[in-house]
Amino acid sequence: MRKTLLTAAAGALTLGLTLTACGSGPGSDDASGAEGPLVVGATPTPAGEILAYVKQNLAKDAGLDVDVKEFTDYVLPNTALQEGTLDANLYQHQPYLDEFNQSKGTELVALDEIYLPPTGVYSEKVKDIADLQKGATVAVPNDVTNEGRALNLLAEEGLIELKKGAGADASPSDIAKNPKNLTIKELDPAQLPRSLSDVDAAAINNNFALDAGLSPREDAILLEKAKDNPYNNVLAVKKGNENDPRVKKLAELLTSPEVKKFIEDTYKGSVIPATAG
C-alpha cells in the first residue's frame, strides 16, 4: 500500500531522526537581525557540510557572517524558519516544500537550487537499464513524493509513459503505456536495497543507497540528472524575506564555481551540484 510520508520527501539522510540543534538566532524579519549573522538551518550531510565550507572559505571575503544550525529532523527546520528563529534553511526539494506549506499552513519559498541527492535505479540482474526484459519487476518507494519521482525517472528513460498531467505525485495508476509490461512493486523506501535480490531492479533514494554501500555514480544503471530537476534541494526563506541581502549573498556563494567544485570533489557523484548538466 502506498503511504503518505511527509518526512520521506527530502534530502539525503535517513528519516525520522531527532533534533540535534535548534535555531536560536534572530529572524530576518527582525530589523536588528538583518544586520547580524545569517542563521541557516541544515541537515548535517550534505547541506551542513556545504554550508561549513562556505563559512570557512568564502563567507568572510564576501562580507557575510553565517551561523549554521544543524537538524536531523525534517519538520523543525521549516517550523523554525516560519517562526523566525532561522533566516533560511537548506535541506529540502521543492515538492517537499510545497507539500509542507500545504499541510502545515506555512509560507516558505525557494530562492535557488543548490544540489541534488540523486535517486537511482539499481540492479543485481542487469548491467544496463536497456537490458531489462519484458515482464521485469521494478521496485519503487511507496511514499507519495518518492514514488512519483521514481516513476518519472522511468518515464524519462522511455520504460513507461505516464498519463498527461501526472506530476510529482504520480502513482502506478497513472501509467498510460507500459511497453515492457513491467511489474511495479511498491515497497517501503528503507527496504528497497534489501529487495535487490528479489526484483529485477529498484529505484532507491540517495540516502538508502548510500547506507547500503551503493555508489550512485558507479552502481546505478539509471541516475537522475541535476539539470531542470524538480528534486534539487533548495535554499529556502520565509515569504517576504526573499530580498534580504545576506540571503542573496549566500545564494550567490552556494551556486559559485568554488562550491560546485567542492561538491564534485567531496561527494564524487553521490551529490550533484544543481549547476551541473
Q: pLDDT tens, 40-74?
A: 999 998 999 999 999 999 999 999 999 999 998 88
The structural domains of the chain, with segments of one domain joined by +, span 6-118+229-273, 120-223
Q: Is the pLDDT of residue 236 over 50?
A: yes
Contact 200, 123 (CB under 8 A): yes
CA distance 48 to 58: 15
Per-residue pLDDT, 271 = 94
Amino acid identity for residue 6 in this structure: L
Per-residue pLDDT, 168 = 85
Percentage of the chain with pLDDT > 70?
A: 87
Contact 189, 141 (CB under 8 A): yes
Q: Is the pLDDT of residue 108 over 70?
A: yes
Work out the number of other CB atoms within 10 angstroms of the CB of residue 107: 11
pLDDT class of 277 with cuts at 50, 70, 90: low
Contact 200, 129 (CB under 8 A): no
What does pTM read for this prediction? Answer: 0.77
pLDDT class of 97 with cuts at 50, 70, 90: very high
Instruction: Judge residue 252's burial from the number of C-beta atoms within 10 Å of its C-beta, 0-12 exposed, 13-18 middle, 19 or more buried.
Output: middle
CA distance 277 to 173: 31
Give domain 120-223's CATH architecture. Answer: 3-Layer(aba) Sandwich (3.40)
Q: pLDDT tens, 146-177?
A: 899 999 999 999 999 999 999 888 999 999 99
- At the topology level of CATH, where does 6-118+229-273 sit? D-Maltodextrin-Binding Protein; domain 2 (3.40.190)
Domain 120-223 in the same topology as domain 6-118+229-273: yes
Length of the chain: 277
Using CA atoms, how far residue 94 sits from 5, 163, 185, in Å, is 15, 22, 26
Cβ-proximal residues to 145 (8 Å cutoff; 6+ apart), any chain: 5, 8, 9, 95, 96, 99, 168, 169
Contact 134, 181 (CB under 8 A): yes
